[in-house]
Structure 1
Amino acid sequence: MNPDARALSSEKYEVKQESILTKIKPHAELIAAIFSGFLIGAGWLLERLDNGSSSAVIYLLAFIIGGFAKAKEGIEDTIENKELNVEMLMIFAAVGSAIIGYWAEGAILIFIFAVSGALETYTLNKSQNEISALMELQPEEALRISNGREEKVHVSLLSVGDHILVKPGERIPSDGRIHKGQTTIDEAAITGESIPVTKTPGHEVFAGTVNLNGSITVEITKPSNETLFQKIIQLVQSAQSEKSPSQLFIERFEGTYVKVVLAVVVLMMILPHFLLGWSWNETFYRAMILLVVASPCALVASIMPATLSAISNGARHGILFKGGVHLENLSHLKAIAFDKTGTLTKGKPEVTDVIVKKGFGREEAMKIAGSIEKHSNHPLAQSIVAYAGKYHKDAWIEPESFEDVAGWGVKASIGTTEWKVGKRDFVGNTAADSFADGAARNLASEGKTIVFLQAGEEIVAAFALKDVVRAETKAAIDSLKEGGVYTIMLTGDSEKTAVAIAAESHVDEYIADCLPETKVEELKKLKKRFGNVAMVGDGINDAPAMATANVGIAMGEGTDVALETADVVLMKNDLPRISEAIELSRRMNTIVKQNIVFSITVIMLLIASNFLQLLDLPYGVIGHEGSTILVILNSLRLLKS
């Protein structure tokens, strides 16, 4: 092999090794915990074969491998916060059990705590994907126009007042105002609404939104780091940095628990010798038993197995939980806010009504409209083609000419007739308002979008389109209301559309004209009103609101960002699953409470028995480990459907 080939091979090997290490690194704690479990099993077998010295070595390896991450974390936190924590207490308890000859028990304590820590680390690593997923949606480059010349520049180099060219199909790289041109913008990334918005000179456009069909020149109005899209990212970061009430309670409880246990152990090593006349051996022996039986092994097992069992149960039923704290919070919900588009509704406009001029055939109207609209890529056009295709069985008509008038509609010539398909302003306001005795105007008042078909100067048909409510929405909302949960709809749509959808979906309250920032503010208000609030959504625009809520719930068919940001994911966009998730949460919390009361009671009884010299170490270990096993078995009941 020549030197160049050898160097290339070596480079590929190094890249492969780095790739493997990159994949393994996030799971290192879990791998170490599992390996320590195997070592415990090996040590136990050696101990049964009367090979005590070898088993002690194996147990020592289990201590080091399983406990390294938690010991390192505990020591670093202790140095940083100048306060002992539960990690240190677990290490002390394991070492204490080893000192009095119970290596297996000490290793098991380390193993249980290591598994818990590994799962926590894995969850934290997963949550870091949210921001990177958001960042990828904003273009890194823009086509700046300067002195009649075009040049590609990084978005960070754009200044307020610069002009940039945005071509059809491209994402807008920074917030600005249209200087020249007109187009249709898909603003789903910002508003979450499926129907694109017509934009003409003077209209504002936002970074991350998609220019659908017209070239436009945009004047930059904000630096790239102050765009609405960047604010969405900052809102997600801010919401995720806020600690939950449970986490704050645990942090406060931790320091007190450790101090009390260690203080009692120290006193137990001294006072009984002088006050009760115990020998020094007996005093130290009792102190070590206390350290073992007072370790929070059963308390840890009270929560983790119950949580994992509930998560497994939910997964089997299409409900994905991203952590026990979110599962716990579900049972405390007082209100749930829903995004409209793609959550309560299907997320795509559908034709709901067709009005045809008297004397003009309905099938003919659909055939002509479908033949023209199939040449357009506008979502409304695609919906009309899909609807017309259900009833029109013959071949489509091929127009002699076709023109897409950006932001208004389309023109086409069929035979000697010029046809127009488009909005009210495109075909003439007066003619549109008087068509079919104002029937189209009445449909528009119901929150529907009206598209007219015009032959020459005469309107012959009108199509009403609407993002229709999902079939299961009403049942899901009614079920939540029966369970005492208040329901609210947050939508970027107008008041008129919001009223219609709110009534149809049975929600208690609605808030219209919501941008991502508005949704976050409304969530904060709802949290003040109700305490615990969930947010259900499927779009990028919902990510900050879901992160702000106590529990964020995403529809499984939603965007990657919504799925990453959410705490709970409905894998099949099945809204009734929310009620099932809440019920599962309530069952889990009941079992957790049972476990905690039981484990604390056992610990207190063991401590009292030890102080009265009624408890020998083997029975203390049996009581301590036995309570842990019972707690786990109680938790496994949640695996049942």
Structure 2
Amino acid sequence: METTHTQKCSGEQGHTHDHGHNHSHGKSPVILFFTGLALFIVALFINEGSLIQNILFISATFLSGYHIILEGIVETIEQSKAKRKFAPNVHILMTLAAFGAIIIGSYEEAALLILIFAAAHFLEEYAEGRSKREITNLLKMNPTEARLIQADGSVKTVDVSQLKIGDNLQVLNGDQIPTDGRILTGATSIDESSINGESIPREKSVGDEVFGSTINGNGTFTMEVTKDSSDTVFAKIVQLVNQSQSNLSKTATKIQQLEPYYVTIVLILVPLFIAAGPFIFNWSWNDSFYRGMVFLISASPCALAASAVPATLSGISNLAKRGVLFKGGSYLANLATIKSVAFDKTGTLTQGKPVVTDFYFLTETNEQDYIDIIIAMEKTANHPLANAILAKFTPAEKLELQVENELGKGLITVFDGATYQLGKPEIFVNTNKQITKHNEQYAKEGKTVVYFAKNQEVIGLIAMMDVPNEHAKPVISYLKSQGIHTTMITGDAELTGQAVGRQIGIDEVVGNVLPENKAAIVQEQQARYGSVAMLGDGVNDAPALVTADIGVAMGDGTDIAIDVADAVLMQNDLTKFSYAHATAKRLDRVVWQNIIFSMFIVILLITLNILGKMDITIGVIAHEGSTLLVILNGLRLLIPTKS
């Protein structure tokens, strides 16, 4: 499968995630282009019609346009072989137009045509850039060292690549877990957001699985290696990213679809036009050949070449000023065609960290006293849930308590002769009906619940949840107004996802999704709806981002998500996505206005040429005038888009 996309004079391209570029010329063609431009400017000040001036114009044509000529010939041959049919491109037409101008002695016009086309070509290439980068940021996240427990009980730091299945490792608090395995001794909480996207760390104890690249909390444990480093979940994510980048097919833009038909028709009509001139219009053969060359120049797509490039660059500039970075004009153009948007939940549609949403105590008389005790207990914990509780409540009296964190019992302390306990509902036996009722209600809402007990009797509970991003609801509403389907993809439980989905009005929620399945869900969406955009921020989102037609990373997300995405929303502002979509639709309208106008000018000039009302000079002036108008129309996209 072809893995690169072909540059078009129109400023639009097929979608590919290898971010390569068939027309990456390096520095030499750019230098030659400006050399040719300098010669062209010098020639303008030489005596008109002189040999030196003509030589300078011809030199400018070949220096500035040699890569245009080369691509026109070579790529036409290659594409024709690949497709087993004649497949010309605009480059070959521009090449023939320049040669035609030279044949009839219009050296200045030949140079001007090539310079304009080459300038647009380089301008677009500069805008597109080379977005494909080595996945260095992702590989940096891959653990490189491990604490290997030797046979004598000593611990030795070794390279992860040296680990074998069955090795025992020591993992200290705050360590990055070196590889996939199973806990042998100890207990801890582990931040697995880089793997499953969940904002709330998982509590792990003996027998539980752990994954490489995840971050250990405040516990220490030993583990047994259960997978080779090349078979870990993290390694599979890297592999999926590479596969997606190398196997995506191109999404043809409208101009690309028009190009081969346009070029083929012109190539057929020019010789027919020349041959028919003496018989139909009673022209001499010299006059017919001259008119044929004027026809070829008139049909050359100078204005068409500028239809999308300035408009696209203006749209990209507009968005960049407002915190949306696109890696290429084709991605912005294709954004206007999306039929479905898939969102990662944590950190994209939600704030990415839990907050206290509800709390309940059996008695309100001692509520503040209980809160003071809870705060004193949670101050000793290093856990996002503890941070959420501390952010929610303010103590009336600051207590200093001795708190123990016991496996299977949670936090325990003694105060005023009573034993207080904080932990998951599963560890408590004696539960009041009111407490159970509240717990069931909060669980249905996808919230995480912590029980508070006094002398082993539950007297209160606190519910927490990763709440929706404040911009999520209006963005979903905008997408619905545009007839675009919305889907939330999350590694969290279905209930949690549904709870968030109801609050923001999303169309579909898919929960309990493993990292490797996110890309498959995007593919299923593509089969159902067509062009799909994906928004995410984590390593686990990377395969889905490169699978989607448009991958959009949140600016506060991981480096790899930003690296493989086609666009980045800085500062995690979701409203910028709806703004980008509105701008993309404006771009689509402007580009089509330019295409229709440029083709109208071509038809008009050809008609006047047939009627004998136009010569080469008028043709060039009309072409440059239409090109200028097309560029000015495209620059309108610098003006902010109305929401």
TM over 0.5: same fold? yes
1:355 aligns with 2:360: yes
Show CA shifts across 1:499-524 (max 9, x none): 21111111122111012222211111
The residue correspondences of 1:324-403 to structure 2 (distance < 5 A) are: 324-358=329-363, 361-388=366-393, 391-392=394-395, 396-399=398-401, 401-403=402-404
Unaligned runs of 5+ in 1: 1-25
Q: Residue 307 of structure 2 aligns to a residue in which SS?
A: helix
The residue correspondences of 1:457-496 to structure 2 (distance < 5 A) are: 457-496=456-495
Distance 2:123 2:380 in 1: 52
1:295 aligns with 2:300: yes
1:516 aligns with 2:519: no
Partner of 2:567: 568
- What is the deviation of 1:273? 6.7
Distance 1:150 1:625 in 2: 75
Show CA shifts across 1:551-586 (max 9, x none): 222223222222223223322433333333222222
1:243 aligns with 2:249: yes
Partner of 2:8: none
Partner of 2:141: 137
**Aligned with 2:44 (options 38, 43, 47):** 47
Partner of 1:410: 411
Partner of 1:3: none
Q: CA, structure 1 residues 53+218, in 2 after alignment: closer, same or farther (shift >3 Å)?
A: farther
Partner of 1:626: 625
Q: Which amino acid aligns with 2:40?
A: G
- The answer on whether the counterparts of 1:445 and 1:496 sit within 8 Å (CA) in structure 2 is yes
Distance 2:120 2:239 in 1: 30
Q: Which amino acid aligns with 1:40?
A: L
Distance 2:626 2:369 in 1: 77
Q: CA, structure 1 residues 238+176, in 2 after alignment: closer, same or farther (shift >3 Å)?
A: same
Partner of 1:204: 209
Larger proportion of helix: 1
State the superposition RMSD in angstroms: 3.5
Distance 1:406 1:96 in 2: 85
- The answer on whether the counterparts of 2:354 and 2:384 sit within 8 Å (CA) in structure 1 is yes
Distance 1:123 1:225 in 2: 37
- What is the deviation of 1:189? 0.9
Q: Which amino acid aligns with 1:583?
A: A
Distance 2:510 2:117 in 1: 46
**TM-score normalised over the length of structure 1:** 0.84
Q: CA, structure 1 residues 302+183, in 2 after alignment: closer, same or farther (shift >3 Å)?
A: same
Unaligned runs of 5+ in 2: 1-22, 82-86
- What is the deviation of 1:196? 0.6
Show CA shifts across 1:1-30 (max 9, x none): xxxxxxxxxxxxxxxxxxxxxxxxx99758
Distance 1:212 1:467 in 2: 19
- What is the deviation of 1:197? 0.8
1:587 aligns with 2:589: no
- The answer on whether the counterparts of 2:124 and 2:309 sit within 8 Å (CA) in structure 1 is no
Q: Which amino acid aligns with 1:350?
A: V
Q: Which amino acid aligns with 2:354?
A: P
- What is the deviation of 1:219? 3.2
- What is the deviation of 1:420? 3.4
Distance 1:167 1:57 in 2: 75
- The answer on whether the counterparts of 2:539 and 2:561 sit within 8 Å (CA) in structure 1 is yes
- The answer on whether the counterparts of 1:269 and 1:283 sit within 8 Å (CA) in structure 2 is yes
Q: Which amino acid aligns with 2:528?
A: R
Distance 2:66 2:625 in 1: 26
Task: Work out the number of aligned pairs and report it.
Answer: 609
Partner of 1:310: 315
- What is the deviation of 1:447? 1.5
Q: Residue 190 of structure 1 aligns to a residue in which SS?
A: helix
Q: CA, structure 1 residues 355+119, in 2 after alignment: closer, same or farther (shift >3 Å)?
A: farther
Q: CA, structure 1 residues 60+349, in 2 after alignment: closer, same or farther (shift >3 Å)?
A: farther
- What is the deviation of 1:350? 0.4
- What is the deviation of 1:626? 1.9
Distance 1:629 1:554 in 2: 36
